[in-house]
A and B are shown apart, each in its own frame.
Chain A
Amino acid sequence: MTVKASSGFLSRSNFGPKALAILIALFLIMFLAVPVAKVFIVAFQDPSTGSFTLINFVDFFKTSLFRESFWNSFYVSSVSVVVASIIALPLAYFTSRFNFGGTVIIQTLGIVPLIMPPFVGAVAMQLLFGSNGSVNLLLDEHLGFTIPFMEGLNGVIFVQSIHYFPFILINLSAALANIDRSMEESALSLGSNGMRLFRRIVFPLSMPGYVAGASIVFIKVFDDLGTPLLLNVNNMLAPQAYLRISSVGISDPMGYVISVILVIFSLFAMWVAFLALRGKDYATTQKGGGGLMKRDMKPAEKFIAYAIVLFILAVVLSPHLALGLLSFGTIWSYSVLPDAYTLEHYAEVFSSAGDFIKNTLLYAGMAATIDVVIGTAIAYIVWRTKIKGRKILDYLAMSALAVPGVVLGIGYLRTFYQFDVPFKDIPLANYWLIIVIALAIRRLPYAMRACVAALQQVSVSLEEASESLGARKMTTVKRIVIPLMTGGILAGFVTSFATAAVELSATIMLVSSEADAPIAYGIYVFMQSAAGRGPGAALGILAVVIVALGTYVSNRIIQKANQKNAMSPDQH
């Protein structure tokens, strides 16, 4: 829908945008393309002779531990998708098919899990659902059996599905809401209803949305390092890569082989999602309103629906509850609840964890700033100029989505070990700035999409008007375009900030000293001592609060911006 400005207005020197494009390209190449390429090269290199070889991959698939890790990662990701779908389906069904009073609860359910990164709650979940955790102690005492919620891989699956199901819920709800009512009406008028209607009309029409959500969840679980690490599950790909590099050494080829596999799978999942959303065959010509027909619930149905929703709510809130209990509890050992409660842990966090908080604010702030600056620049270059090859910039930035945090961390360690930071005499790989860059690169795709969306809402005619009044390009951008994009930019900044603040995978690979560590690493470290569980949990709650605030603020900004745009007159 965006009309590119005709070349007449751009005949003035393209130098500015071109130089900018080249600078950004260089940044992305140096901090994204090169490290990832390095990882790929090392994976295919013979460790002693340096020549091209497939022997590392052969070794990988010949070693049973790695085969097992590969299979386990695959298994955990797939089953997480299934469990997440089971959680999301009834919720999506209730909201799309019925006039359901509990819709507000369901909408909250769509956000609450996302504000707590899975690794933060993982340890607390052990205490609640572990084999001698609260739930199982009660079950054993009263009913005589236990459920292995958290045994081995089950623990990872459980924690991940509870965290990621909103992706499926949101995508599925949106897909169902977009089904044209006239489709359903036609089907009904032809005599099809109930199960048959669902199977042959609703289901296929909502597939693309579902598949998109499912592939996102799959890849996020596949790449996650923090959760398996904190749950002590090591026979999966991401923890194995981390363990190989840190215990066996930066030259161990297995870490690189695993990285290559992770990247290939990420790309594959992205391709599947892309295909699913691209299918124009699923578009329906607009006739009636959006969404299926809703009907009222009978009392019995209402009861069941509320029961299911409340049960899901309880399960979804359990990590938050467990973390809270852990942060306030004194000793929690082989009992349903902690022995007693105290504010000591929070006191300790505020007195000794100041460094973590300071670092987090600094790193996340810088990363988010870099993201919106580059994001806006790329958005402008790609959508408003005619510089050759500008699409490449977009793809390059988006490709960061296919690179898991672990891989980026390994790539940086390998590539930047030789370079020293000027004036400081420390290898770049150990300097805290590298963490900022890693966070920025990882969050760039999201920030950029926010900036692109914001830019697309600024009508080109406004720029044309400005230039026809004699303003130079630079002035137009500075005084018309960017101010109009502010809402989107701010939202992108805040989201980038909130998610960078709790990133663990790349951080854990790159942190070299505790003084340089952000909050995510701090939580990891605290959870490693008996006396540290309480403060670790308190720190975790703090991290959740930061993310929740960020999400809320970002939502408000977007709402305000949308209101503004809705009210302003001519928009095309």
Chain B
Amino acid sequence: MAFQNKEVIKKLTTVVIGSTALMLSLSVNAADGQLTIVTSFPSDLTKVFKKAFEKDNPGIKLEILKKKTTAGVKYIQETSAKNRTDLFWASAPDAFEVLKDDSLLQKYESSVKGLPDKVGAFPVNDPDGYYKGFAAAGYGIMWNERYIKAKKLPAPAQWADLTKAVYHNHVGMSAPSRSGTTHLTVETLLQGKGWDEGWKMQKEIAGNFKTVTERSFGVPDGVNSGNFGIGIVIDFFGLSSKGSGFPVDFVYPTATTLVPANIAIVANAPNKENAGKFIDYLLEPNGQELLLDPKIRRLPVNPATYAKAPEGFPNPFKDSSIGAAVKFDLTKSKNRYNLVNSLFDVMITYRLDDLRKATKAIQDAEAALAKKPNDDAAKLIAEARALIAKLPIDEAKSLDKEFAGIFKKKRKKATDKVTGRQAEVEQEWDKFVVENYAKAKELAEKAQSML
């Protein structure tokens, strides 16, 4: 018995050691055509492009590192000394601006010509030539048809609709700090409506939130599974969910902007040539057509590709109403990138419960007011609303370089002076916000008791 067991162990050991050696040796002979891409795109998209590109270019093997936009930027920053990444491939142009400023990208002139300069109101490529747009996306609202039918909700059409009391506890969204596309959505709202009005509307919508999801995908996921009925998403999430068969629909509100999704070659890329080939592939008609795949559904930048799109597919080159209303200022967005992240989180994400309760109190009071008009109560409610909308800083401060610099999470040089620690400022804001929400709730409840 013991002898047999020994044989078994011997065999096992040989097999394990043998296969390990085999694996190691196989990996030592890395494919000589290699390309490393850091991307925030889901595998539904990367899979399709990887297969098609590798088929067209048999000598090159793609290695895809999937990271959220913020994590991807962080990764490239942290590995810059020993850079191994060839391409950064993500939606948000402001993430590319952050990298461009850190001198972590390199210029590239694509061999594909004839693509338009603008899509909607936004330039397709970086004017300085560091990053290229290969698809466009806008922001909008998606909803679950079964859900709204069951709960008898009207289908939304504009951002302002989402502030209505009927949608309380039915809306989902991610946070700008967790999702590049959500950051763009919030900035679009801020730039489209102005700093004060934009935040006011943002908070009114947030008062109707069921949840702030951990990542942007959590929103279409929640709508698809019926967890919540309405989601604020980037268009391809809505369109691709619909394309995959889920009972959902999507609409662009008027105040939206079409922003290109981008790709850029990282500075000191080990495989610069292959990187260029990949970018060219994305911009060629074949690559552009891949964007129409039902699981991808992004807007191509090549107008001719739309001829192959299914019916009802939005076409920004034909329909000029999409994305023309807001002129997106990339520099503004870049300068207050981290600050907006923090502000959203402190005022909304971390205090969602307080905000929700205060909003519900106000909505209940307003419903009662509609039945029994009362000037004093109306005044209290208006005060309550103003308290919720109050901001700890104004737009001027948000653009103040020194103040915004506090929110650079990583101070690169000791000479970068900041006036305080980020934790301190956030704690100040938190106190401000908690007080105001509580007071707003109090006032609204007082108003209701008067009616």
Q: Are B44 and A532 in contact (CB under 8 A)?
A: yes
| Whole-angstrom CA separation of A237 from B77 in the bound complex | 26
Is B96 engaged at the interface, CB distance under 8 Å to the other chain?
Answer: no
- Which of these, B5, B214, B247, contacts A333 with CB under 8 Å? B247
Chain A residues with CB below 8 A from B248, complex form: 333
How long is the Cα–Cα vector from A365 to B19 in the complex, in angstroms? 10
Tell yes or no: B226 within 8 A of A by CB. yes
Does A529 contact B2, Cβ atoms closer than 8 Å?
Answer: no
Kindly state the interface size class of chain B when it binds its partner.
35 or more
A-B contact sample (10 more), CB < 8 A, given A486-B6, A530-B246, A532-B44: A63-B427, A331-B246, A331-B247, A334-B226, A362-B20, A362-B23, A365-B19, A483-B2, A530-B241, A531-B240
Q: How far is the CA of A528 from the CA of B43 in the complex (A)?
A: 9
Interface residues of B in 201-235 (CB under 8 A from A): 211, 213-215, 217-218, 220-221, 224-227
- Contact status B16-A532, CB under 8 Å: no
Tell yes or no: B308 within 8 A of A by CB.
Answer: no
- Given the known interface contacts A130-B227, A426-B84, A531-B295, the answer about A252 and B421 at a Cβ–Cβ threshold of 8 Å is no
Measured CB to CB, the nearest residue on chain A to B44 is: A529
Q: Determine the chain B residues whose CB is within 8 A of the CB of A229 once the complex forms.
A: 214
The distance from the CB of B267 to the nearest CB of chain A, in whole angstroms, is 18
A466 contacts B by Cβ under 8 Å: no
Cβ of A131 and Cβ of B19 under 8 Å apart?
Answer: no
**Interface flag for B177 (CB, 8 Å):** yes
Let me know if A132 and B147 touch, CB within 8 A.
yes
The chain B residue sitting closest to A49, CB to CB, is: B414
Given contact pairs A48-B411, A483-B2, A132 touches B423 in the complex (Cβ within 8 A):
no
Can you list 21 pairs linking A and B with CB atoms under 8 Å apart? A62-B423, A62-B427, A68-B350, A127-B225, A132-B225, A132-B227, A246-B68, A246-B74, A247-B177, A331-B245, A335-B146, A424-B28, A426-B84, A514-B43, A514-B65, A525-B66, A529-B43, A529-B295, A530-B240, A531-B44, A531-B295
Q: How far is the CB of A428 from chain B (nearest CB, A)?
A: 12
Q: Evaluate contact between B421 and A48: CB separation under 8 angstroms.
A: no
Q: Please indicate the chain B residues that have their CB under 8 angstroms from the CB of A59 in the complex.
A: 421, 423
Question: Is B2 a contact partner of A362 (Cβ separation < 8 A)?
Answer: no
Q: Is the CB of B350 within 8 A of A249?
A: no
Are A483 and B65 within 8 A (Cβ)?
A: no
Choose among A247, A334, A483 the residue that contacts B6 (Cβ–Cβ < 8 A).
A483
A64/B410 in contact, CB under 8 A: no
Asked if B1 CB lies within 8 Å of chain A CBs, one says yes
Chain A 507-534 near chain B by CB (<8 Å), digits 1 or 0? 0000011110000000001101111100
* B65/A512 in contact, CB under 8 A: yes
Q: Is the CB of A362 within 8 A of B245?
A: no
Shortest beta-carbon distance, B77 to chain A, in Å?
8
Q: Are A486 and B23 in contact (CB under 8 A)?
A: no
A5 contacts partner chain B, Cβ-Cβ < 8 Å: no
Q: Which of A130, A251, A352, A528 contacts B47 (CB 8 A)?
A: A352
B126 within 8 A of partner (CB): no
Chain B positions within 8 Å of A, measured between CB atoms, are 1-3, 5-6, 8-9, 13, 16, 19-20, 23, 28, 42-44, 47, 63-68, 70-71, 74, 77-78, 82, 84, 144, 146-147, 150, 177-178, 211, 213-215, 217-218, 220-221, 224-227, 237, 240-241, 244-248, 295, 350, 409-411, 414, 421, 423, 426-427, 430
Chain A hits for B150, CB < 8 A: 334
Residues A513 and B214 in contact, CB atoms below 8 Å apart? no
* Residues on A with beta carbons closer than 8 Å to the beta carbon of B411: 48
Which A-B residue pairs are the 3 nearest by beta carbons? A334-B226, A483-B2, A486-B5
Interface majority SS (helix, strand, loop, mixed), chain A: helix
Contact A423 B28 (CB under 8 A): yes
Whether A530 contacts B224 by the Cβ 8 Å rule is yes
Q: How far is the CA of A352 from the CA of B426 in the complex (A)?
A: 45
Given contacts A62-B427, A531-B295, contact A513 B63 (CB under 8 A): yes
Contacts of B247 in A (CB 8 A): 331, 333-334
Distance (whole angstroms) from the CB of B436 to the closest CB of chain A: 15
Give the residues in chain A near B5, CB-CB below 8 Å. Answer: 483, 486-487
Q: Which A residues contact B (CB, under 8 angstroms)?
A: 48, 59, 62-65, 68, 126-127, 130-132, 229, 232, 234-235, 239, 243, 246-252, 330-335, 352, 362, 365-366, 369, 423-424, 426-427, 479, 482-484, 486-487, 489, 512-515, 525-526, 528-532, 564
Evaluate whether A249 and B78 lie within 8 angstroms (CB atoms) in the complex, with A63-B423, A132-B226, A330-B245 already known. yes
Q: How far is the CB of A128 from chain B (nearest CB, A)?
A: 11
Contacts of A426 in B (CB 8 A): 84
**A427→B79 CA distance, assembly (Å):** 10
CB distance from A462 to the nearest CB of B (A): 11
**If the complex has contacts A248-B409, A251-B410, are A513 and B295 also in contact, measured as CB distance less than 8 A?**
no
Q: Which residue of B lies closest to A59 (CB)?
A: B423
Is B16 in contact with A334, judged by CB distance below 8 angstroms? no
- A62 CB contacts on chain B under 8 angstroms: 423, 427
Smallest CB gap from A130: residue in B: B227
> Is A514 within 8 A of B66, CB to CB?
yes
Q: Decide: A333 near B43, CB < 8 A? Known: A365-B16, A483-B2.
A: no
Q: Given the complex of chains A and B, what is the CA–CA distance between A64 and B428 in angstroms?
A: 11
Q: Is the CB of B217 within 8 A of A529?
A: yes
**A352 CA to B48 CA in the complex, in Å?**
12
Compute how far the CA of A365 lies from the CA of B12 in the bound complex, rounded to whole angstroms.
10
Q: Which of B9, B47, B64 touches A513 (beta carbons < 8 Å)?
A: B64
A369 to B20 Cα, complex, angstroms: 11
Q: Give the interface centre of B82, B147, B213 by most chain A CB atoms within 10 Å.
A: B82
Alpha-carbon separation in the docked complex, A243 to B84 (Å):
23
A514 CB to closest chain B CB (Å) equals: 6
Give Cα A62 to B425, complex, Å: 12
Q: How far is the CA of A386 from the CA of B241 in the complex (A)?
A: 66
Given contacts A365-B16, A424-B28, contact A64 B224 (CB under 8 A): no
Q: Is the CB of A334 within 8 A of B2?
A: no
Please indicate the chain A residues that have their CB under 8 angstroms from the CB of B237 in the complex. Answer: 530
Choose one: A331, A515, A530; the contact of B63 (CB below 8 Å). A515
B20 and A366 contact, CB distance less than 8 A = yes
* CB–CB B2/A232 < 8 A: no
CA distance A503 to B82 in the complex (A): 30
A126 touches B213 (CB 8 A): no
In the assembled complex, the CB of B296 is this many whole angstroms from the nearest CB of chain A, namely 10
Query: Quick check: A564 and B1 within 8 Å, CB to CB?
Result: yes
Cβ contact within 8 Å between B43 and A252? no
Identify which of A65, A130, A528 contacts B225 (C-beta below 8 A). A130
Q: How far is the CB of B440 from chain A (nearest CB, A)?
A: 19
Chain B hits for A513, CB < 8 A: 63-65
A528 lies within 8 A of B213 (CB): no
Q: Are A332 and B71 in contact (CB under 8 A)?
A: no
A489 to B177, CA, bound (A): 48
A247 to B9, CA, bound (A): 45
Return A497 CB to nearest CB of chain B, in Å.
11
> Given A62-B423, A530-B244, A532-B43, A126–B225 Cβ distance below 8 Å?
yes
A335–B224 Cα distance when bound, in Å, is 11
Option from A64, A126, A239, A427 in Cβ contact (under 8 Å) with B350: A64
B166, chain A: closest CB distance, angstroms? 17
Write out the residue numbers on chain A whose beta carbons fall within 8 Å of the beta carbon of B8: 486
Contact of A530 among B23, B84, B221 (CB under 8 A): B221
CB distance from A483 to the nearest CB of B (A): 4
Q: Are A131 and B227 CB-contacts (below 8 A) given A250-B78, A529-B44? A: yes
Please give me the residue from chain A that is nearest to B16 by CB atom. A369
Which chain A residues border B217 with CB–CB below 8 Å? 528-530
Query: Which of B5, B63, B64 has the most CB atoms of chain A within a 10 A radius of its CB?
Result: B5
CA distance A195 to B395 in the complex (A): 69
Interchain nearest-CB distance for B61 vs A (Å):
9
Complexed CA–CA distance, A556 and B23 (Å): 31
CB atoms of B430 and A64 under 8 A apart: yes
A487–B67 CA distance with the chains assembled, in angstroms: 43
Name the residue of chain B whose CB is nearest to the CB of A132: B226
Nearest CB in chain B: distance from A380 CB, A: 15
Q: Is the CB of B63 within 8 A of A333?
A: no
**How distant is the Cα of A530 from the Cα of B221 in the complex, in angstroms?**
6
With a cutoff of 8 Å between Cβ atoms, the chain A residues found around residue B23 in the complex are 362
